[in-house]
Structure 1
Amino acid sequence: MSKMNARFRNRLIASITGVVSVWMPALPASAAHPEIQLEIRDHLFYPSVLKVPANTKIKLIVINRDATPEEFESYELNREKVIMGGQKAIIFIGPLAPGEYPFFGEFNPKTAQGKVIAQ
Structure 2
Amino acid sequence: MVSSRYWALLALALMAGLGTPALAADLPTFTITFKPDGNFDPQRLEVPAGRFKLVLVNESQEPVEFESLPLRKEKVLGPGVKSFVVLNVSRPGDYPFFDDFHQDAKGTLVVLPKP
TM-score bracket, shorter-length normalisation: 0.7 to 0.9
Deviation at 1:93, TM superposition (A): 1.2
Deviation at 1:58, TM superposition (A): 1.1
**Unmatched segments (≥5 aa) in structure 1:** 1-30
Instruction: Provide the rounded CA distance (Å) in 2 between the counterparts of 1:78 and 1:64.
Output: 20
**Unmatched segments (≥5 aa) in structure 2:** 1-24
Aligned to 1:43: 38
Q: State whether structure 2 residue 102 is matched by structure 1 residue 118.
A: no
Aligned to 1:88: 82
Q: Percent identity?
A: 37
- How high is the TM-score relative to the length of structure 1? 0.70
Match of residue 58, structure 2, among 60, 64, 67: 64
Please identify which structure carries the higher strand content. 2
In the TM superposition, structure 1's runs of 4+ consecutive aligned residues that sit over 2 Å from their partners are: none
Alignment RMSD: 1.3
Q: Does structure 1 retain, via aligned residues, the 8 Å contact 2:89–2:111?
A: no
Instruction: Provide the rounded CA distance (Å) in 2 between the counterparts of 1:64 and 1:76.
Output: 22
Counterpart of 1:95, as a letter, is: V
In our comparison, the structure showing a higher alpha carbon Rg is 1
| Secondary structure in structure 2 of the residue aligned to 1:57 | strand
Instruction: Provide the rounded CA distance (Å) in 2 between the counterparts of 1:96 and 1:39.
Output: 24
